[in-house]
């Protein structure tokens, strides 16, 4: 994956595939501690301990269409390359939490990429799923909550192209406002 | 300083979109629109599926073709990513492989607008498509 946003697209899709109805994504930039943290929490079907163990092994996947899982091992590798790490907590029937730490100032930290587009495309693809994204920097916190968006939309579908464009602008303007890196 | 987009702007966008929509469009059910699903599992993402999805949403809107474009998980065609599944109203879904912006443009102009077939169609047993 060439940037962080594509990894986020990938793990959000994992949560959707796991049947989650609520997906939370939290990004926290803490330059004073030299940390860039990404946390994903879902209420999908979860994984047992053995699977959590296996899931960061590049030769593991539950899918039958190819022999190796790729998403999580790649993300882990990209975090470790900066001196950071990835941890997964999960419980069958409850949900999954993926915690990734990148070292903020490390030269190998992936470019951020198009986070606003990633969120807009994912939330518009799954109208029945709620997504809450929060992004914190030393300048402040921005929260994007699809429950709020859908309330305002009423019966206008969230996958309307104008609504998708609006969500992109909303997120990217506010990320600029808090000087997200 | 330019104005920051806020949730309040969504109200005016909603009013604008609803005013612009013709009565016909308003009564359009998802089944009467073109439906496109973009395979967005790791292999799709890594080979450019997000760019294709962005392109399709923007271009179909610009060309006034009512459509719903959504992402989906694995469709099972790693070897041909990015792949998209296109359903024209009243027709069987067709899966196209190796889609980039250029290919997506041809799919819109030839297949979606005129029903013409083009290269890159993946023969599928539709029963198997829902990647398990
Ligand atoms: N949020 C999640 N909830 C439940 N299972 C998950 C989640 N994320 C990943 N998994 C499991 O881990 C496996 C590996 O995931 P990943 O590395 O993204 O590869 P892939 O999605 O291509 O199989 C998935 O097939 C799935 O079984
Ligand atoms: S795993 Fe490659 S297309 Fe699904
Ligand atoms: Mg995956």
10-residue averages of pLDDT along chain B (132 residues) = 82 84 65 92 93 97 94 90 95 95 97 92 64 42
Q: Does A64 touch chain B (CB under 8 A)?
A: yes
Q: Does B50 touch chain A (CB under 8 A)?
A: yes
pLDDT over threshold 80, residue A75 = yes
A149: phi then psi, degrees, rounded to nearest 5:
-60, -45
pLDDT over threshold 60, residue A76 = yes
Nearest CA to ligand 2 atom 4: B74
pLDDT over threshold 70, residue A69 = no
Segment (H or E) for B118: none
The pLDDT of residue B26 is 63
Residue with tokens 């808090």: A178
Nearest CA among B9, B26, B42, B40 for reference residue A168 = B9
Which residues is A145 bridged to in the sheet? A132
Going by the DSSP 8-state scheme, the letter that residue A167 receives in this structure is: H
Sheet holding A130-137, edge to edge: A85-91, A95-103, A35-42, A22-30, A130-137, A140-145
Is there a contact between B50 and A9 if contact means CB atoms under 8 Å apart? yes
Residue with tokens 């790729």: A70
- Using the atom order of ligand 2, give the atom closest to the CA of residue A65: 1
pLDDT tens across A8-66, in order?
999 999 999 999 999 999 999 999 999 999 999 999 999 999 889 888 776 656 666 55
The pLDDT of residue B32 is 81
How much is the average pLDDT of A134-139? Answer: 98
Low-confidence winner among A89-98, A115-124, A130-139, B114-123 (lowest mean pLDDT)? B114-123
The pLDDT of residue B131 is 45
- Which class for B33: exposed (0-12), middle (13-18), buried (19 or more C-beta within 10 A)? middle
How much is the average pLDDT of A72-86? Answer: 94
Could you tell me the residue ranges of all domains in chain A? 4-177
Question: Which ligand number lies closest to the CA of residue A16?
Answer: 1
Query: Can you list the domains of chain B with their CATH numbers?
Result: 29-114 (3.40.30.10)
Nearest CA to ligand 1 atom 10: A14
Q: Does B122 touch chain A (CB under 8 A)?
A: no
The pLDDT of residue B17 is 84
User: Measured from the CB, is residue B76 less than 6 Å from ligand 2?
Assistant: yes
Going by the DSSP 8-state scheme, the letter that residue A68 receives in this structure is: -
The pLDDT of residue B4 is 86
CA A169/CA B78 separation, integer angstroms: 32
**Mutant choice from B42, B68, B81 vs A, greatest count of A C-beta within 10 A:** B42
Using DSSP, state whether B23 is helix, strand or coil: helix
pLDDT over 90 percentage in chain A: 86
CB A12 within 8 Å of CB A25? yes
The pLDDT of residue A68 is 54
The pLDDT of residue B132 is 39
CA B13/CA B76 separation, integer angstroms: 37
How much is the average pLDDT of A98-112? Answer: 97
The mean predicted confidence, pLDDT, of chain A is: 93
Its CATH class, for the domain covering A4-177, is: alpha beta
The pLDDT of residue A99 is 98
């Amino acid at each position: 994956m060439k940037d962080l946003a594509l990894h986020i697209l990938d793990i959000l899709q994992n949560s959707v595939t796991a049947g989650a109805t609520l997906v939370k994504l939290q990004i926290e930039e803490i330059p004073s501690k030299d940390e860039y943290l990404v946390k994903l929490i879902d209420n999908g079907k979860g994984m047992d301990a053995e699977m959590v163990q296996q899931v960061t092994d590049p030769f593991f996947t539950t899918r039958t269409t190819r022999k190796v899982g790729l998403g999580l091992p790649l993300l882990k590798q990209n975090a470790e390359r900066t001196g950071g790490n990835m941890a997964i907590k999960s419980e069958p029937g409850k949900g999954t939490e993926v915690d990734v730490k990148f070292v903020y100032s490390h030269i190998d930290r992936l470019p951020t990429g198009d986070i606003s587009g990633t969120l807009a495309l994912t939330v518009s693809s799954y109208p029945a799923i709620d997504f809450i994204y929060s992004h914190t920097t030393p300048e402040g916190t921005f929260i994007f909550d699809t429950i709020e968006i859908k309330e305002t939309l009423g019966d206008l579908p969230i996958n309307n192209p104008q609504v998708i464009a609006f969500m992109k602008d909303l997120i990217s303007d506010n990320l600029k406002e808090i000087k997200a890196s | 300083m330019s104005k920051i987009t806020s949730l309040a702007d969504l109200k005016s966008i909603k009013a604008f979109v609803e005013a612009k929509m013709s009565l016909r469009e308003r009564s359009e059910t998802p089944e009467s629109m073109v439906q496109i699903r973009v395979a967005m599992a790791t292999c799709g993402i890594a080979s450019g599926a997000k760019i294709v999805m962005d392109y399709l949403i923007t271009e179909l809107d610009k060309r006034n073709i009512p459509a719903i474009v959504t992402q989906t998980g694995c469709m099972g065609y790693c070897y041909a990513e990015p792949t998209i599944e296109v359903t024209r109203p009243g027709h069987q879904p067709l899966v196209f492989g190796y889609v980039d912006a250029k290919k997506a443009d041809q799919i819109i102009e030839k297949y979606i607008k005129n029903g013409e077939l083009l290269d890159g169609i993946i023969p599928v047993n539709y029963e198997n498509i829902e990647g398990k």
